[in-house]
């Protein structure tokens, strides 16, 4: 019998009822997260990363959002549970952190109150024990002088500190799975690095599974073991991080990698950016969704949507993988051409 993954997302489809009809923001996504693994989810803004993470925890308004497919956490399908039961899992076995810490911190309560409340909600401990734990959590997230900080209000702290508080709250319930949706995007690089270290540490210490969502492939290279690349609501490539960077198969992935700023790059040269923009959900291309922006696209691509297929241990959704790989391998053999 094969090992059960911590989280299994299978054929997830999330649609919204809008004034102009129904739009499908996530269209048939399948991936697993194992215990102790950090899975990266990347793609430009608007590709459906946040809708995916919100769907996993059923955070969307179910009056307008409709889910199809399956989300299994430790073998339990979250779509089959009542919202109340999902709420019990949320912030307990599965925690989530967002880009904007202030949206999840309450301005009228002290940091200490918010963390101890979170701890007491999820663990059977006294107020005093919760307080001690809260200080521990703050220390663990690298907050200096936690005994002092615990009495302050969110507005008294910098953005980086607020983000750490939010992470401390999210992690104080010792989740099995952490969903981090662009948690460092709003932070400056030094604080970003510290937060990444923190997540990595907790992942190692507690074997916590992590879904790390970002539009920044540079961050993925640092923290993730495996990566899923999303484009317009679909997965276009999945690979181990090393393979993804050394051997990207999908033209979209190649474009993303070429767009990473490098310290040693020639600054006078423009960064390679993928031409065009992500199409709107009301105007989804009929064939391959990336075709309008793809340098390799031909008639077949514009007419027929490719499936996500295995290719040399990776998965890729492209009609021309053979051709592209062959061309590249050929040009490596004769570098003078």
Ligand X SMILES: Nc1ncnc2c1ncn2[C@@H]1O[C@H](COP(=O)(O)OP(=O)(O)O)[C@@H](O)[C@H]1O
Name the residues that contact ligand X, by CB under 6 A. 16, 18, 23, 25, 43, 45-51, 281
Q: Closest approach of Cβ 233 to Mg ion, in Å?
A: 13
Residues that bind Mg ion (rule: CB under 5 A) add up to a total of 2
Q: Closest approach of Cβ 166 to ligand X, in Å?
A: 18
Q: CA 247 to CA 125: how far, in whole Å?
A: 50
Q: Which is nearer to Mg ion, 49 or 317 (CB)?
A: 49
First to last CA, the chain: 51
Q: Closest approach of Cβ 281 to ligand X, in Å?
A: 5
What dihedral do alpha carbons 2, 220, 253, 278 form, nearest 10°? Answer: 110
Contacts of 50 (CB under 8 A, 6+ apart): 181, 213
Residue 103, class by beta-carbon neighbours within 10 Å (0-12 exposed, 13-18 middle, 19+ buried)? Answer: exposed
Choosing among Mg ion, ligand X, none, which partner's interface includes residue 25 (Cβ < 5 to 8 Å by kind)? Answer: ligand X
Which residue has the CB atom at the shortest distance from Mg ion? 50
Choosing among ligand X, Mg ion, none, which partner's interface includes residue 281 (Cβ < 5 to 8 Å by kind)? Answer: ligand X
Q: Are 251 and 327 in contact (CB under 8 A)?
A: no
- In the sheet that holds 65-73, the strands lie side by side as 21-33, 7-18, 65-73, 76-77
Q: Are 22 and 44 in contact (CB under 8 A)?
A: no
Q: Closest approach of Cβ 50 to Mg ion, in Å?
A: 3
Contacts of 94 (CB under 8 A, 6+ apart): 56, 57, 73, 175, 176, 177, 178, 179
Position 14 contacts Mg ion (CB under 5 A): no
Q: CA 149 to CA 301: how far, in whole Å?
A: 56
Q: Are 43 and 290 in contact (CB under 8 A)?
A: no
Residue 42, class by beta-carbon neighbours within 10 Å (0-12 exposed, 13-18 middle, 19+ buried)? Answer: buried
Choosing among ligand X, Mg ion, none, which partner's interface includes residue 195 (Cβ < 5 to 8 Å by kind)? Answer: none
Position 53 contacts Mg ion (CB under 5 A): no
Q: Closest approach of Cβ 312 to Mg ion, in Å?
A: 30
Closest among 21, 7, 15 to 67, alpha carbons compared: 15
Q: Closest approach of Cβ 26 to ligand X, in Å?
A: 7
Q: State whether residue 237 is helix, strand or coil.
A: strand
Q: Which is nearer to Mg ion, 93 or 100 (CB)?
A: 100
Q: Closest approach of Cβ 278 to ligand X, in Å?
A: 8
For β-strands 38-42 and 21-33, DSSP reports them as unpaired
Q: Closest approach of Cβ 114 to ligand X, in Å?
A: 26
Q: Which is nearer to Mg ion, 15 or 52 (CB)?
A: 52
Q: Which is nearer to Mg ion, 53 or 314 (CB)?
A: 53
Position 50 contacts Mg ion (CB under 5 A): yes
Q: Which is nearer to ligand X, 50 or 116 (CB)?
A: 50
Q: Which is nearer to ligand X, 45 or 106 (CB)?
A: 45
Q: Which is nearer to ligand X, 18 or 151 (CB)?
A: 18
Q: Which is nearer to Mg ion, 49 or 289 (CB)?
A: 49
Q: Which residues are at the interface with Mg ion (CB under 5 A)? A: 49-50
């Amino acid at each position: 019998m094969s090992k059960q993954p911590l989280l299994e997302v299978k054929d997830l489809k999330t649609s919204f009822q809008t004034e102009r009809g129904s739009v499908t923001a996530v269209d048939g996504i399948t991936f697993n997260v194992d215990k102790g693994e950090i899975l990266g989810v990347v793609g430009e803004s608007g590709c459906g990363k946040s809708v995916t993470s919100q769907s996993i925890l059923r955070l969307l308004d179910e009056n307008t959002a409709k889910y199809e497919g399956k989300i299994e956490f430790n073998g339990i399908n979250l779509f089959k549970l009542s919202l109340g039961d999902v709420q019990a899992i949320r912030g307990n076995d599965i925690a989530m952190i967002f880009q904007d810490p202030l949206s999840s911190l309450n301005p009228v309560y002290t940091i200490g109150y918010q963390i101890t409340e979170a701890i007491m909600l999820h663990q059977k401990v006294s107020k005093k024990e919760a307080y001690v734990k809260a200080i521990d959590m703050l220390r663990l997230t690298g907050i200096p002088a936690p005994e002092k900080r615990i009495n302050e209000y969110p507005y008294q702290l910098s953005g980086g500190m607020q983000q750490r508080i939010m992470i401390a709250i999210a992690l104080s319930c010792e989740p099995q799975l952490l969903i981090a949706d662009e948690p460092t995007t709003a932070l400056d690089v030094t604080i970003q690095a510290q937060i990444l270290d923190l997540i990595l540490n907790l992942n190692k210490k507690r074997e916590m599974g992590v879904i790390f969502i970002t539009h920044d492939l540079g961050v993925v290279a640092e923290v993730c073991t495996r990566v899923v690349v999303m484009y317009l609501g679909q997965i276009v490539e999945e690979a181990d991080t090393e393979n993804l960077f050394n051997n990207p198969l999908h033209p979209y992935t190649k474009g993303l990698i070429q767009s990473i700023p490098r310290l040693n790059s020639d600054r006078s040269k423009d960064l390679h950016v993928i031409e065009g923009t992500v199409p709107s959900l009301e105007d989804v291309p009929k064939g391959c969704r990336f075709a309008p922006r793809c340098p390799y696209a031909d008639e077949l691509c514009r007419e027929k949507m490719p499936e996500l297929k295995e290719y040399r241990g990776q998965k890729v959704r492209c009609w021309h993988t053979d051709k592209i790989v062959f061309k590249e391998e050929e040009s490596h053999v004769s570098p003078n051409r």
